[in-house]
Amino acid sequence: MSTVDPEDPTQGDPGEQPEGTGRPADDIDAEFARLMEGLSLEDTPLTVEDVLTEAPEENEVPTVAVVATSVSTAKALAGVVRLGREARTDGIDIPVGTRTLDTRTGAIAAGPLPETAAHDLAAIASTALQRNGIVLFWRRGDRMTATRYKNGERGEDISPAIVLGAVDDLVEELLLGTRELDELGDGLDPAALSRSEALAWIASGKKGT
């Protein structure tokens, strides 16, 4: 005599239900189809690049770039950077977030810039300053670099410790994170200047006004 209950849906042919479950295979297939409705893995394949692109910005390591110069005032340096952008023929622009600030040893251009943008800023500034060399300092997390620029061209990478002694302590404080850019105020935005304003600011900076 058979012990299978004909009214019990959990019993029947073992080949019609997945091992370890009490549900018929047809029911599980239907449920899976319902869950996947409207999704197309073929139309939207997920790549490693997609995952990295969609990573939350708050998880990124903060960066800071400082271009140290011998320009006398932040006002003059803002004009220099504005004219340097105009003189470039490769289309690079002043990075968003750039500001110029005064220090005891010369004005600096700084901002929370990624590495590529930091080098763009240094190239623009040194284009206008021509033969006057400048140094780009850049930090991300524990990584700190220093690079010389002259006449719009990138020069050698050097140890930051070698050149930090020649600039205001503020530069080192920014690079070490003991001072934040936001603590220093808005500074001056070179990108906001017109050409005539840039020329006037450079002239006023040379006169020390």
> What residue segments make up the domains of the chain, in order of their start?
61-206
The candidate with the shortest Cα–Cα distance to 150, out of 166, 120, 128, 118, is 128
- What angle do the packed helices 74-87 and 195-206 form, to 10 degrees? 140
> Is-contact 101 167, C-beta < 8 A?
no
Tell me which amino acid residue 19 is: E
pLDDT at 56: 43
Q: Which two tokens stand for residue 94?
A: 């002043």
In whole angstroms, what is the distance from residue 99 CA to residue 81 CA? 10
Which pair of structure tokens corresponds to residue 60?
């990124």
Task: Determine how many CB atoms are found less than 10 A away from the CB of residue 154.
Answer: 14
For residue 38, the model assigns a pLDDT of 55
- The model carries a pTM of 0.70
pLDDT digits (tens), the chain, 209 positions: 545 555 555 555 554 554 555 556 666 667 666 665 655 545 555 555 554 454 444 447 889 999 999 999 999 999 999 999 999 999 899 999 999 999 999 999 999 999 999 999 999 999 999 878 999 999 998 899 999 999 999 999 999 999 999 999 999 999 999 999 999 988 999 999 999 999 999 998 764 44
